[in-house]
Structure formats: structure tokens, C-alpha cells
Amino acid sequence: MKQKFTQNDLVKYIYRETSATENLAIREALNSDNDLFGSYEQLLQGYQQFPKATFSPSPAAIQNILKYSEATAVESQH
């Protein structure tokens, strides 16, 4: 039985949100279905054109997180 993949499946694949089993099935489908491969290429091109955002918390934010973690940490029992 041949599995039908949707654009949502391809988007998940592009964003690496698929399991190893899904990856294999999608790769196999891309190799055998020219229409699916065309859709994949279009989605991949759009993905590559998105600006890549990077986020970096301020040192104060990191310190606040670490202080909160210390204050709420459960002591291990020996």
C-alpha cells in the first residue's frame, strides 16, 4: 500500500519534526513520486528564503533563571 503524504507532512520533514520511520517513508515517496517531489522543492525553497532568527537571552535573564532554579531545586536524598 502506497502512503499519501500531504504538504503538512513535507513541512514537518523540512523542519526535522518527523521520526526516523517517517523520514524513510517520505524519502522513498520523494524518489518515486515526481509531483510530491515538486511540492517538496517548492516548500524547501520557501523555507530557505525565510530569514533565520536567532535569539540570545540577556545575561540578567540567564542569572534570573539560574537563581530561580537554585531556589526551587529539590535536595536529593541519600
List, for residues 20-78, the tens digit of each pLDDT value: 999 999 999 999 999 999 999 999 999 999 888 888 989 999 999 999 999 988 765 55
- Count other Cβ atoms within 10 Å, centred on residue 9: 19
Domain boundary assignment for the chain: 7-72
> What is the pTM (predicted TM-score) of this model?
0.64
Going from the C-alpha of 40 to that of each of 31, 36, 54, the distances in angstroms are 11, 6, 25
Is 75 or 15 the better-scoring residue by pLDDT?
Answer: 15
